[in-house]
Structure 1
Amino acid sequence: MRFLKKSILYTVILIVLGILITLGLESFIAQDTSSRIYSNVNTIPTAKTAIVLGASVHSDGQLSPILQDRVDSAIDLYKENKVEEILISGDHGSDSYNEVDAIANYLKNHGIPQDKLLLDHAGFDTYDSMYRAHNVFGIKDAIVVTQEFHLPRAIFIAKHLGLDYHGLQAKERAFKIENKIMKREKLANYKAVFEVIFKIEPRGSKKQV
């Protein structure tokens, strides 16, 4: 019985410590990147490139609400002359799933010229997108566009890869961010710290456009 009580106590302590560390890491990343994140297109510094981070695309090629908000915000940046071009970085891991072309088609349908688009078909996650933006596409200054919950991690990665990137919070409609996405984001902070410490080289990261 005494062993059981100790086991329960230690388990509870470990769970509490895990929660505190997770929340502390989230707070640290938010504080570390706060000066580089903007919520208003009009106040963000200009840059050569906007980077749109991919998200889910429907089977018919339509953008999910969360992705459309990112892309619409990038359009605002371009039309307000805050950027000269847009890098689309997303998942094109199979012939049947292609975030990049779906975003490109949406942008072209909304008046963005083809020659102002850069396509990264190997932006499989946030770290890959940030790493490849610089090492493959040679982007030195950029505005990263994604939602408020995701932006601190993206800018944290960019900052600790030595990149002069700022972030714009994508305008949000009244869609619900699922709890599993928020939980996954908290856990992804651990992965981000590991990747920037060890400077992991993504697959297909050799310089090519």
Structure 2
Amino acid sequence: MGGRRRLGSLVAMPFPRPVRVALGLCVLGALSIAASVGGAAAWASHSSEGRLQTVAGVEPHDVAIVLGAEVLSDGTPAKFTAARLDVAIKLYKAGKAKVLVVSGNNSAEHHRETTNMRRYLVARGVPSAKIVEDAAGNDTYDTCIRARNTFGITSAILVSQTYHLPRAITACRSLGVDAVGVGDSSVAKLRFWRTGVLREYPANVKLALDVLRGAGPEVAEPPSRAVADALGR
């Protein structure tokens, strides 16, 4: 009986104050992270609302921007990348975009993403003169800020997988590019799709922080006439 009373009193004893403080901070931290993730996701969803279009339904634009993704070591665009490029080809051939900007990391380490994206498009009937490479579009934020500051693009169709477009549209709109998106979902059954969807949550938070602090691009370059020249202006 006495043993049970002692056990009960031990169970009822409160945690020491330092432990309570630590637990409280952990809870507050978890709540803050959840609020940040949820808030950033809601921001991206709201900013892109009504801006996800189809090839048939999107209004014609001067420019469509293909956001880069993996290129294999032999120069072949990976399935996700090829699917984006296929959407861009449809936009061009339907007269919905006059010029295609392929944006990515064109370093040897990344297997010359934009060079090989251009090659893929040309092999499928897009004139090389109507393709512009953004060889330093190293991520979504950089693609958008360079579209505005380097290439002078103020309005564009963005091309990526559908789960990526809310963040991409939000990034470009926040940086001065009036963007809509035409997405691909043909690769939705591939394993990476689920990973990509989950990745958007922390990526939305990073985007919000980049916009708030006015981050510049990783590679800043003087203004380029490449897009204007491709448009014949």
Q: What's the TM-score once normalised by structure 1's chain length?
A: 0.90
For the residue of structure 2 that corresponds to 1:43, the secondary structure is coil
Identity %: 31
Q: 1:165 to 1:195 in 2, by over 3 A?
A: same
Shift of 1:107: 0.5
Structure 2: runs of 5 or more not aligned: 1-14, 227-233
Distance, in Å, in 2 between the alignment partners of 1:179 and 1:4 is: 38
For the residue of structure 1 that corresponds to 2:181, the secondary structure is strand
Question: Are 1:32 and 2:47 matched, yes or no?
Answer: yes
Q: Aligned AA for 2:27?
A: V
Of 8, 12, 16, which aligns to 2:31? 16
Of 193, 207, 210, which aligns to 1:195? 210
Q: Aligned AA for 1:74?
A: A
For the residue of structure 1 that corresponds to 2:49, the secondary structure is helix
Question: Are 1:68 and 2:82 matched, yes or no?
Answer: yes
Aligned to 2:100: 86
Distance, in Å, in 2 between the alignment partners of 1:145 and 1:177 is: 18
Aligned to 1:104: 118
Whether the aligned pair in 2 keeps the contact of 1:70 and 1:171 (CA below 8 Å) is no
Q: Over alpha carbons, which structure has the higher Rg?
A: 2
Distance, in Å, in 2 between the alignment partners of 1:59 and 1:149 is: 26
Distance, in Å, in 2 between the alignment partners of 1:178 and 1:43 is: 25
Q: Aligned AA for 1:119?
A: E
Q: Bigger shift: 100-109 or 22-31?
A: 22-31
Shift of 1:177: 2.8
**Number of aligned pairs?**
208
Q: Aligned AA for 2:68?
A: G
Q: What's the TM-score once normalised by structure 2's chain length?
A: 0.82
Distance, in Å, in 1 between the alignment partners of 2:110 and 2:88 is: 25
For the residue of structure 2 that corresponds to 1:70, the secondary structure is helix
Aligned to 1:177: 192
Q: 1:96 to 1:46 in 2, by over 3 A?
A: closer
